[in-house]
Amino acid sequence: MREQKFTEFLAQLKELTEVQRTELRERLGKKQHKKSPALIVNEKFASKPVCPNCQSNSVHKWGVVSDIQRYRCKQCGRSFNALSGTPMSRLRKKELWLEYSKALADSMSLSKTAERCGIDRTTAFRWRHRFLQTPSHNRAFCSGITEVDETYFRESFKGKKLFHREPRKRGKDASVRGLSAEQIPVVVARDREGHTCDAVLRSRTAKEVGIHIGSQISPASVLCIEQSRILIKFAKDNGLAFETIGTKQRRGREKVFHVQNVNAYHSRLKNWIARFHGVATERLPSYLGWRRLHELALRSPEDWLREVMK
- Contact residues: Zn ion, CB under 5 A: 51, 53-54, 56, 73, 75-76
The distance of closest approach from Cβ of residue 74 to Zn ion in the complex, given in angstroms and rounded to an integer, is 8
Number of H helices, E strands in the chain: 12, 8
Residue 290 CA to residue 287 CA, distance in Å, equals 5
Q: Are 131 and 282 in contact (CB under 8 A)?
A: no
By the 8 A CB rule, do 70 and 63 touch? yes
Of 73 and 225, which has the nearer Cβ to Zn ion? 73
Find the shortest distance in angstroms from Cβ 53 to Zn ion: 4
CB nearer Zn ion, residue 56 or residue 281: 56
Torsions phi, psi for 183 (to 5 deg): -100, 125
| Residue with Cβ nearer Zn ion (76 or 211) | 76
Q: What are phi and psi of 249, to 5 degrees?
A: -70, 135
Q: Answer for the pair 281, 156: CB distance below 8 angstroms, yes or no.
A: yes
Q: Are 309 and 83 in contact (CB under 8 A)?
A: yes
Q: What is the closest distance, in whole angstroms, from the C-beta atom of residue 72 to Zn ion in the complex?
A: 9
Residue 54 or 256: the one with the smaller Cβ distance to Zn ion is 54
* Minimum separation from the CB atom of position 69 to Zn ion (A): 16
CB of 51 to Zn ion, least distance (A): 3
Which SS3 state, helix, strand or coil, does residue 188 take?
strand
CB nearer to Zn ion: give 63 or 278. Answer: 63
Nearer to Zn ion, 85 or 194 (CB): 85
**Euclidean distance between CA atoms 223 and 115, whole angstroms:** 45
Cβ-Cβ contacts under 8 Å for 290 (sequence gap 6 or more): 104, 107, 132, 135, 136
In the complex, minimum distance from the CB of residue 50 to Zn ion, in angstroms, rounded to a whole number: 9
Q: How many CA atoms lie within 13 A of 118 on its CB side?
A: 7
Least gap, CB of 88 to Zn ion (angstroms):
20
Shortest gap between Cβ of 137 and Zn ion (angstroms)? 22
State the virtual CA torsion across 230, 231, 233, 234 in degrees, nearest 10.
120
Q: Which is nearer to Zn ion, 52 or 214 (CB)?
A: 52
Residue 309 CB neighbour total at 10 angstroms: 21
Q: Distance (Å, rounded) from C-alpha 99 to C-alpha 117?
A: 6
Residue 73 or 259: the one with the smaller Cβ distance to Zn ion is 73
